Amino acid sequence: MWLIDKLAEQRIREAAVQGAFDDLPGAGQPLLLDDDAAVPAELRSAYRLLKNAGYLPPEVQLRRDIAAAEQLLSLAEQAEERAGHSRRLRFLLMRLNLTRLAPVNLETEHAYFERLCDKLENGKNGVSVDFPEPPENASAEAEHKSTLTPFSQATRGAL
């Protein structure tokens, strides 16, 4: 934690102990986390209706389907079963790529995320790690076998 963060936390704790927050409006009441002030007034009721109905944007739903397909593929034991899950996963990835302006490479995104987490964890201990840019194509990603997604690990023999 940075020095400024520690100082801010200390001052907040001191103010809480002194009772500086006791008479604030709304004290003791739950926070309103469903704030839609940034949504235009004419769209609020429609957005609330969609949210309450459990609607997800298509890309979010597609990413959930991809994650589920990756999990099924990693758990598949027979080659025939792996091939079926692999086909489904490739189909979902193709659909995701068609909905975006730029193609999505989930392996690259996942590998970049994992390396970023490693760097942040190592940085906490004072260890400085040289952090390379993510690879731009799938062939460069193959060099980083230790950071591949379950899809890429499970489909090596199925594709």
pLDDT tens, 17-41?
998 888 888 888 887 767 777 888 8
Per the model's pLDDT, the better-predicted residue between 74 and 159 turns out to be 74
Would the pTM of this model clear 0.75, i.e. be above it?
no
Q: For residue 68, what are its two tokens? A: 């589920």
pLDDT tens, 102-141?
766 666 777 776 777 677 667 654 444 454 555 555 444 4
List all residues 6 or more positions away from 65 whose beta carbon is below 8 Å from its beta carbon: 92
Q: How far apart are CA 158 and CA 5, in angstroms?
A: 49
Catalogue the long-range contacts made by 132-138 (C-beta closer than 8 Å, 24 or more residues apart): 134/108, 134/109, 135/108, 135/111, 136/108, 137/105, 138/105, 138/107, 138/108
CB neighbours (10 Å) of residue 69? 21
Provide the terminal-to-terminal Cα distance of the chain, rounded to the nearest Å: 45
pLDDT at 152 (0 to 100): 46
